[in-house]
Amino acid sequence: MIVRSLTFEDRAGSFRVVIGDRALKHMLHLCAADPERETGGILIGFYSNDFTTAHVVEATSPPRDSKSGPDWFHRGTEGLEAMLRKRWDGEPRTHYIGEWHFHTANIPWPSAQDLKQMRAVAQDAKYNCTEPILVIVCPVGENQWVFRSYVFHSGDLTEELHLVDYSELERADSRGQNSAEPTGRKERPRC
């Protein structure tokens, strides 16, 4: 499948997350490179002028000091501060808006550790992101992936966002066959 974008929306239809082509392709590349180990990184993007849409333009690779196993991932921090400073000073100006990671099993919802980490991000002033986004990718078959998106509001409220649109979700597998069924959820983060 050629992945162009995924759009997730909250139940009220008042907040959207749009994950762009470059970010989607990079996540899928990292997930397919080692399907036996979890991986992940941060989400970088920007908000619309009215703050109703978060645009994810970049999903990073895991920092070099990250650690992972078949069913766990700990994102490191090496190099992230300099990267985020460069994105902030660049044109267009982008910034941290959340996290993404790969679950090797078909479990597209946040684990207890994921929930704890994202709530900590929402409450940590250093992130300057009171409503971070979490995107989880997991396999559902050969060259088939599920995307889910969540927003972590202040406090303990976690909202799953719903996939409302995708454009040209096709990617040729190694045999030239087209496959992939993205699904997803998203909710409202503000950073």
Active-site residue list: 38
Rounded Cα distance, 15 and 161, in Å? 9
Tokens 């983060």 sit on residue: 189
C-alpha dihedral over 101, 106, 109, 113, to 10 degrees? -60
Rounded Cα distance, 111 and 88, in Å? 31
Question: Are 147 and 1 contacting, i.e. CB atoms less than 8 angstroms apart?
Answer: no
Two tokens, residue 72 = 């766990």
Task: Tell me how long the chain is.
Answer: 191
- CB within 8 Å of 28: residues ≥ 6 apart: 3, 137, 145, 171
Rounded Cα distance, 190 and 128, in Å? 9
What pairs with residue 137 in β-bridges?
A: 102, 147
